[in-house]
Every structure is written in structure tokens, then in C-alpha cells.
Structure 1
């Protein structure tokens, strides 16, 4: 895991999922997103599933991944629909899948459903050697519910559990990142996303155990990081 005080600039760049999930994002915005991703050499661009083919083409001949958000941002589609959307995104060039859990079934206490959903999507991702991330949307969950989903993830083993979509009532918190990491252990990583707009926010999430940061403020965070390290 990374620590904010010792992380290098190159390591920090590779932590970022550079994000544009806006409903009105057009081709020019995705071209800009991918150019910035290449300039910084971040880990991934995080987008909705519709522009996956475009971003895959824009990022060809690079090692920057294209990440598709599945059932975004509400998670209120069936398992079958989520699996189809996952498969379709992978066919079009997605290297990573971030899907939103069915929060209604969490609230129903139907954790067998949450397990089946997670197993189904993680299985597709493994078959295609694609990274899988499970979005909890912590702003709507109790601590007990966060732990229960994380315990399922510890057994199913997606690559990451993720705090938030960024479209809920609030985003990532240090406390939630720490709780998720403590529960999933070392075999599953944590992605913090939602409301991370400064180097101070980013550093706090890394120190709590996050190994990916989803943000639309990547360039601003890097500017603040550079200023801190240069003593300005």
C-alpha cells in the first residue's frame, strides 16, 4: 500500500482513475480526458459504458486502461442486465469494470443476491482477464452493511471494492476506506472515489488504505502535490 508522505510522483500518477462520468460529456471531452491521461500516465480513464470504444481507440498503443461504469450510478438493474453490460463493455475494449451493487437488495438484507451479483460479474471479468471493482455507495449504507458487503467481497475476491459513484449524497470518507480495507484484507484492494478534490483529500485516502483514487481533479491534485514537495 502507498503512504502519502513517501509516495513518488510516478506512483501517484499510476494511482489515478481519471474520471468523466457526466451525462453530457461529448467527444471533445473524451479526447481531452484521454490526452490528459496520456500526459500524466495515470492508471485508467473512468467513463460510462457508451464511450468505451471511442476511448479504447484514443488510448491504443498505451498501457492506460479504459474503465466502464456498469449500472451507473444507481445499480438498479438486474444481474442479467449488469452481466450483459459488462460483456458488451469488454467486447468494446474495457480493461476494467466498476459496477454498482443493488442497494435495494442490501437494504432488504438479501446478501445472497449481493453474492450472486458479485460472483456473476467477477466471473465474467476473470474469464476476460479484466479488472473488477464493486461500488458500494457508502453514503446510503450503515457501517454494518458496509462490513457485510466487504465480507462477501473478501470471499468472492473482486480486484477492488470502491466507496462511491460520486453521484450520491456524499463520497469517500477516510473512516469507510479504513473499514473496508480492514474487512477485505490484503487480497482485495480499495478504491476511494467521490469528492476527492485536493492532495490533502487524496493523501488521507491513501494513508487509510486506498490503492486507487477515482477523481475528476487529477491535475489539480498533482499541482498541489508538486507544490508541497517543492516546498512552495
Structure 2
């Protein structure tokens, strides 16, 4: 797979707590230069970044991040605020405690509520696979499908593990028609990126792919 084809599937990401505007601006510059699917940045930078990029790259942000245990009303407000500030895509974190408690209707309602706020804008649902059993992952494939979200996403990158090939294979078998897959967390090589795409991922949340390309450009290998 050609590098430029892989980049079309990358959400170029910087969500570290200490991220500065200078670092966010560099992420935006790189996203526009390398034509990534989006740049994924903290909500507080959306307005500034949206004004800066002027449509040259899509702006993605995170909601209920990284723990997911905020109220649905809080997440809905966060989503509305992000969209008003210029976000094009929303990555929300589910309430994992609700999943453990089998409060499936509450989770579905929350996802559906946020999708209603998003309208035509893309909604991705982070389920934090490293904290779940396979049965819970399959249940979330069903819930995300019923709720009408656009993507199911593996991880925040802030818990005990990131995306695995096994999880993407599992998602691909159990998501419904129209639901795409995003692998995120720990994607550290072009080979891994290509493998995730081959297994069924449509998006890759990563900060490292662009760094690898820039290093290759600078060193020649």
C-alpha cells in the first residue's frame, strides 16, 4: 500500500495534557501537508485551529475524554460546543461502567443523543477495548450499529493498551452495515498501519506515522 494511501486514513493526533498551541499548529500544518483524513486535537484548540487551517484539513476532537463517565447532558453540551467552534468530527468515549453494569439502553441512548447533535458530522465511538471482554466488545458493536454512529473506535490511547489486530478482526465480524472502524493507540509503524487497514480499519488514530515519514524524509531512510 502506498504511503499517501495510508495517510488518507490517518487521524493525525495530539491529545497530550500539556499540548501547546505551537504543537497543535504543527499538527495542523502536517495534516494539511500530508493530506491526512483529519487532525485530532483537544476541544480547547478547535476554534483557533479551525480558523488557522481554513478548511485545508478536517478538525476532529474528543468528547468525554478519556474516562467517559460524564453525564450524557455534559457530553451533549461538549459536542454542541465543539461543533459550534468548528469541529468536523467527534470521537466520544462511552461510559464503561454502564457497559460493565449491562446498562445497554443507557449507552445506546447516549450515542444516539450525540449523533443527533452531530447531524451530518462524523461521530466515532471509543469503547476502550483494553478494559473489555470479547463479549463486551461484540455487544458494543451491536449497540454502536443500532445507535447510528459512523465509527466504532478501539481506544483513547490513555488507558492500559491500544489497538490490536485481534480487536479489528473482531469488529469487522460484528459491526453492522455502514459502521466503519477506527484503530487507535500504539500504532507505531507503517507495517502496522497497513495491517490494520487490511484487517478492516478505515481510520487510524496515531501521532507516530507522520513522525516516521518526516524522519525518513530527513534522513533518506
TM-score tier, shorter chain, comes to over 0.9
Give the alignment partner of residue 201 of structure 2, picking from 180, 198, 210. Answer: 210
Aligned counterparts of 1:87 and 1:164: Cα–Cα separation in 2: 22
Give the alignment partner of residue 134 of structure 2, picking from 128, 143, 146. Answer: 143
**Contact kept? 1:197, 1:220, Cα under 8 Å:** no
Higher RCO (C-alpha 8 Å, min separation 6): 1
User: Deviations 1:184-215 (Å, cap 9, x if unpaired)?
Assistant: 13410000000001112212211210010000
Secondary structure of 1:158's partner? coil
Q: Any stretches of 5+ residues in structure 1 without a counterpart? A: 1-6, 227-231
- Is structure 2 residue 124 aligned with structure 1 residue 109? no
RMSD: 1.8
Aligned counterparts of 2:215 and 2:176: Cα–Cα separation in 1: 31
Aligned counterparts of 1:109 and 1:155: Cα–Cα separation in 2: 16
Q: How many residues align?
A: 219
1:112-123 maps to which residues of 2 (within 5 A)? Answer: 112-123=105-116
**Contact kept? 1:198, 1:224, Cα under 8 Å:** no
Q: Any stretches of 5+ residues in structure 2 without a counterpart? A: none
Partner of 1:57: 51
Give the alignment partner of residue 82 of structure 2, picking from 71, 74, 89. Answer: 89
Secondary structure of 1:50's partner? helix
**Contact kept? 2:12, 2:210, Cα under 8 Å:** no
- Scaled by the length of structure 1, the TM-score of the pair is 0.90
Report the CA distance shift for 1:55/1:23 in structure 2 as closer, same or farther (over 3 A): same
